[in-house]
Structure formats: structure tokens, C-alpha cells
Amino acid sequence: MTQKPIQLNAFDMMVPVHQSPGLWRHPESGVADFTRLSYWTNVARTLEEAGFASLFLADIPGVYDVYGGGADATYRGGVQFPLLDPLVAIPAMAAVTQTLGFGVTASVTYEQPYLLARTLSTLDHFTDGRVAWNIVTSYQDSAARNLGMQGQIPHDERYDRADEYMEVMYKLFEGSIEPGAVRADAEANVFVDPAKVHDIEHSGAFFSVPGQALTAPGPQRTPLLFQAGSSSRGQQFALDHAEAIFLSGGTTKLVRRWVDGIRDGLEERGRPRDAVKIFTLATIVVADTDEEAQQRFDEYRRHVDTESALALFGGWTGVDLAGAEPDAPLEYVATDANQSALASFTTLSDGTTWTVRDLAEFVAIGGRGPVIIGSPATVVDELERWMQETDIDGFNVSAAVRPADLERFGRFVTPELRRRGLLTEGEAGQTVRDRTLGSGPWLADDHQGASYRVSP
């Protein structure tokens, strides 16, 4: 049995269908209300009570329009569409919770760093240091087209640009407004001390930001940094910047391979092997007994929508499987979309040949991660097995029926985790960085972002 506590993130998105196409039709699904703020404040409360360290909200700035050469299947299936802006809901969720962190996704390919730094600092203030940023480079042509470009920036170049983007962000968060700059000293007639505000004077290949940050940083200065790139260039970027990395793989063997690569990469950079926390996707179907959980899963299966699953897969990978022979084997092609999503069913599949049908059925519940089915004891045994075999730090828990399966997690799995002493509880006032890494509120001194820090 592992001694290491299991860290829990919930993996969700402000859409009707996130990872389990078709399940919105299940009678227990509540997603018809996903546009109500109360849906999300209830989710936040549920997760906090269930011992989750954070809620990770995925986001994309485009529509999945690859399958069948259009978006009709996406519309019909509610496949990550319609899509609300996750940043807007965070303060409301923070106001009804005390310890839950919020991982928000924002794209470095389409957002300007100067304004995004202000948005994230605002959220860090409003959440008392409970905001984390999932740094993505994005992978959709539809996003590029609607954001004023002819097509996507090529895959690896997106990451080169993202490296410079991060330099700008570190300068804005760490190097522009010193701690103590905001004095609000009425007697001296000084609100902000000019000696403690610095222009960042950034001039690079992609960005020019000569001036100062628009707002003083929040309790964490730089928000906790999440990343999920899994291609080799994506992994390099993650090693250079991330404090927590998300993976998504169907087998312990595949996930272990990625984990070893990450920990070796950290060591090569002279950092501790555990400097970055690693989470992998898992979908849990739990009930009182193994039989009841299996029955529940069988019932879920009757609600899956394989066409929507292929629309989702097309959006991730840029590969259109409309009209493909269901028994045709999948083949790897390099695209400018999400390279690791396709690789996990082809070049990284350990000799298994995936057909189009297998893929649609697998992706239809829980996306690219495992589905763990059983009683609370069986589920926790399986979570422990994944922890041991993959050397991860925790899970990104996705719900098949939303939000019911998150509530069920809290009702069934959390008590078993607590009974086995596997959950670490949050404390009010603790930042999400401290809760996740145990290293205080700011970036670690050996993180490259800390080198931009100006101190009093």
C-alpha cells in the first residue's frame, strides 16, 4: 500500500459534454443547467467537501469542426459547445468555498500576455491565492481562423512563442511591482510607492512590453502553473515552466513512461525529481457494491454517442474519421493539432491495434483516461495501484454523468480515502501552490520564474 497521499483535482469544463459524449442524456445528468451560476457554485461546494484540492476547468477558444468537414455533429452532441468563459465564474465559486483551488485554462497563443497577467492577478486577489493557470498553446484551426489568422501557428513554433510569453508573464508577476509597493498611506499621501514599480522593458522576437504591470500581483505573485503538453516539444515546455502536469493515458504503462520522462527531465535540469506534481485523468463509476457499479456503468454505455465521440476526437487531433470503416485500424499522422492524443492510440499503444470502432467506444466514456468501476474499496484499491505503478501524485477526476458522479465521488470514495489516511485536507488561508506543492505561496527559488523577482 502506498503511503503517499492522493491529491485530487476535478477535471471539468463549462460545456454540456466534456469527456463523455452522450451522457448528458442520462436521467441523472444536471448539465441542462450548466449556464446557471448556481450549477457551478454547487459543484465548487461539493468538491471542497469531498476533499478535492482544486477544480481544473478546461477551455478552448474554438469549435470542433473537423468531423465530417463541419460542426453539425458537434452541435447535435453538445460536444464542448456551447462554451462558457471559465474565468468569469471563478470569483463566485471562490466566494462559497475556503480551500478549493481553481485551475483556469488560458491560451498563450491567443491572449495578450499584458492583459492576461492582469486577469490572473485579479483572480489571485479575489480567491486569496487559490488560482492556478493551465497554460495551453491551443490546437484548433477554428480558433486561429476566428482570431484573425489564416491558420494555426505550426505546432513546435507555438511552444517557442509560449516560452517568450512566459518570460513576459514572469516579468509582470515577479519583476514589476514589488511586495510592499501598495502602501495606501494617507498621511504620506502615497498610495503606490513609485520606487517600487518597475518597467519590465521586454523586447523579444514575439512580444514587446516596455511598461509596468497593470496591477500588483496577488498572494502567489505568479499563479500556480499547470500544463498538459505531452508531445516531445510540449514536454520540454512543461519541464521548463510547469509546477503541476496533467496526463491523459489509458494504461499504467503509458502513463509511467510519461512520468519517468518528466522526472528524468527535471533531474537533467538540476531540479528534484518531485519538483513537479503529476496528475492523470481517471473517470470513476462507483456504487455500494462492485455489481451495482458495473450495472451503473452498463447503463451509462447505453447512453454513449459514438458520433459525438468521433467529433471530439477529430477536434483534438485534426483527423476526420467520418465515413471511415468502423473496423479500419487507426494510423498516426503528424498534424498541427494535439499530437499526443493521436499518438496514444497509435504509436504509443504498446502493440495494440485500435480500430475506429474501438476508439469511438473508448473515448465515449472518460476521454483518453481509464474508467474505474466498483465499490468504494475497489475504486480506492485501483487508485492506489495507479499511484504505485505510475509514480503519479494524484488524479484529475472526470465525471461521466455531471455533476452526479462528482457528488457520488464525495459520498462513496472520499470516506474510503479518508479512512485509509490517503487524503490531505486543505486549510483556509493556504494558497493553492502551498497545498499542491507544500512549498509556500511563491514560485520555488529554483524555478526559472523566480529569477525575475525584484525584492524589497
Ligand X SMILES: Cc1cc2nc3c(=O)[nH]c(=O)nc-3n(C[C@H](O)[C@H](O)[C@H](O)COP(=O)(O)O)c2cc1C
Which residues are annotated as part of the binding site? 59, 105, 155, 159, 230-231
Instruction: Rule CB under 6 A: choose which of 2, 212, 231, 355 binds ligand X.
Output: 231
Pairing mode of beta strands 208-209, 202-203: antiparallel
- Selected binder of ligand X within 338, 390, 430, 431 (CB under 6 A): 338
Whether residue 283 contacts residue 42, with contact meaning beta carbons closer than 8 Å, is answered with no
Binding of residue 246 to ligand X (CB under 6 A): yes
Question: Grid coordinates 492577478 are at which residue?
Answer: 121
Give the number of other Cβ atoms within 10 Å of residue 212's Cβ: 16
Stretch that binds ligand X, among 20-28, 34-42, 132-140, 438-446 (CB under 6 A): 132-140
Among 74, 176, 248, 436, contact with ligand X (rule: CB under 6 A): 248
- Give min distance, CB of 335 to ligand X, in A: 9
Residue for grid cell 463523455: 20
> How far apart are the C-alpha atoms of 41 and 273, rounded to whole Å?
36
Q: Which stretch binds ligand X (CB under 6 A): 117-125, 213-221, 225-233, 355-363?
A: 225-233
CB of 209 to ligand X, least distance (A): 23
**Single residue of 19, 176, 220, 230 touching ligand X by CB under 6 A:** 230
Backbone angles phi, psi at 288, to 5 degrees: -55, -40
The correct pick among 340, 344, 390, 430 for binding ligand X (CB under 6 A) is: 340
User: Binding ligand X by CB under 6 A: which of 7, 121, 137, 220?
Assistant: 137
* Grid cell for residue 424: 490531505
d(CA 368, CA 258) in angstroms, rounded, equals 14
Backbone phi, psi, residue 241, to 5°: -130, -35
138 scored as a contact of ligand X (CB under 6 A): yes
Residues 254-283: x/- map of binding to ligand X (CB under 6 A)? ---------------------------x--
326: amino acid identity, one letter: P
398 near ligand X (CB under 6 A): no
Q: Judged by CB under 6 A, which of 234, 250, 314, 376 binds ligand X?
A: 234
Total site size for ligand X, rule CB under 6 A: 22
112 contacts: CB under 8 Å, gap ≥ 6: none
Instruction: Tell me if 437 contacts ligand X by CB under 6 A.
Output: no
Provide the CA 242 distance to its chain's centre, in angstroms.
Answer: 12
The residue within the footprint of ligand X, chosen from 396, 414, 430, 431 (CB under 6 A), is 396
Which of 105, 252 has the CB closer to ligand X? 105
Q: What is the dihedral of CA 145, 151, 155, 158, to 10 degrees?
A: -60
Angle at 162 between CA 160 and CA 167, to 5 degrees: 105
Residue closer to ligand X by CB (options 119, 248) is: 248
Residues 6+ apart with CB under 8 A from 263: 273, 274, 391
Q: Residue 64 Cβ, how far from ligand X at the closest point, in Å?
A: 12
Q: Is 335 in the site for ligand X (CB under 6 A)?
A: no
Residue 375 binding ligand X, by CB under 6 A: no
Q: Which residue has cell 483551488? A: 101
104: cell is 483556469
| Nearer residue to ligand X within complex by CB, 247 or 437 | 247
Nearer to ligand X, 58 or 209 (CB): 58
Near ligand X in 58-77, by CB under 6 A: 58-60
Rounded to whole angstroms, how far apart are CA atoms 132 and 111? Answer: 16
With 0-12 / 13-18 / 19 or more C-beta atoms within 10 angstroms meaning exposed / middle / buried, residue 411 is middle
Q: Is 80 in the site for ligand X (CB under 6 A)?
A: no
**Binding-site residues from annotation for FMN:** 59, 105, 155, 159, 230-231
Which residue stretch of 56-64, 76-84, 212-220, 414-422 sits at the interface with ligand X (rule: CB under 6 A)? 56-64
* Tally of CA atoms within 13 A in the half-sphere of 425 that contains its CB: 9
Nearer to ligand X, 181 or 363 (CB): 363
Buried b (16+ CB within 10 A) or exposed e, 304-323: bbbbbbbbbbbbbbbbbbee
Q: Are the CB atoms for 417 and 423 separated by under 8 Å?
A: yes
Task: Enumerate binding residues for ligand X (CB under 6 A).
Answer: 58-60, 105, 134, 136-139, 228-231, 234, 246-248, 281, 338-340, 396
